[in-house]
């Protein structure tokens, strides 16, 4: 498989689908003209199986998304959250953890890497001795919610945690 062609062919299909559908075309054009007005910020894992737009059945312009291993929020993510709050006026933030998370697994098993520490140590600090991966995902997502609330005490929107189950495709 030529990966570049695979990606560009996919984009071609996507662009054509919009071009050939009047409703989608108009919606896409208004996103271009009027700018984006997403109503929710989703902070989730980079896991290829956890794609917010697909699993919440949403379209372009609806969700503002941050994806980072283990849905851990560090400095860079705070800047993006600040933008979402201050400039996009988003009033609903979800930290979406998931089952079978590699970052949670790595944190539980105290794995090491060249650049992993800022993420794994944050998860370890949150989950302490929890060895159950599902419970650890929940604890970690809740901890990230708390972190957002601590960093943006003036924020008047909602910040919640949810878990996506990779096996059932359901958000709990």
Question: Footprint of Zn ion on this chain (CB under 5 A)?
Answer: 45, 47, 101, 103
CB of 98 to Zn ion, least distance (A): 6
Residue 142 token pair: 């809740």
CB of 76 to Zn ion, least distance (A): 17
- Choose among 170, 146, 172, 134: nearest CA to 73: 146
Q: In the complex with Zn ion, which residue's Cβ is closer, 38 or 70? A: 70
Q: Give the strand pairing for 92-98 and 158-165.
A: parallel
CB of 124 to Zn ion, least distance (A): 15
Q: In the complex with Zn ion, which residue's Cβ is closer, 19 or 53? A: 53
What phi and psi values does residue 135 have, to the nearest 5 degrees? -60, -40
Q: Give the strand pairing for 158-165 and 170-171.
A: antiparallel
69: Cα within 13 Å, side-chain hemisphere: 15
Q: In the complex with Zn ion, which residue's Cβ is closer, 101 or 148? A: 101
Q: In the complex with Zn ion, which residue's Cβ is closer, 38 or 97? A: 97
CB of 73 to Zn ion, least distance (A): 14
């Amino acid at each position: 498989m030529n990966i570049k062609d695979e990606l560009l062919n996919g984009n071609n299909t996507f662009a054509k689908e919009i071009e050939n559908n009047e409703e989608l075309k108009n919606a896409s054009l208004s996103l271009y003209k009027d700018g984006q007005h997403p109503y929710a910020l989703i902070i989730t894992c980079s896991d290829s199986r956890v794609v917010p737009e697909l699993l919440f059945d949403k379209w372009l312009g609806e969700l503002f998304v941050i994806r980072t291993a283990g849905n851990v929020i560090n400095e860079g993510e705070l800047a993006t959250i600040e933008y979402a709050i201050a400039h996009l006026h988003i009033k609903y933030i979800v930290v979406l953890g998931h089952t079978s998370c590699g970052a949670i697994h790595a944190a539980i098993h105290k794995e090491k890497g060249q650049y992993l520490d800022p993420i794994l140590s944050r998860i370890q600090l949150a989950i302490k001795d929890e060895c159950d991966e599902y419970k650890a995902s929940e604890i970690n997502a809740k901890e990230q919610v708390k972190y957002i609330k601590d960093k943006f005490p003036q924020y008047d929107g909602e910040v919640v945690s949810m878990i996506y189950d990779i096996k059932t495709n359901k958000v709990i």
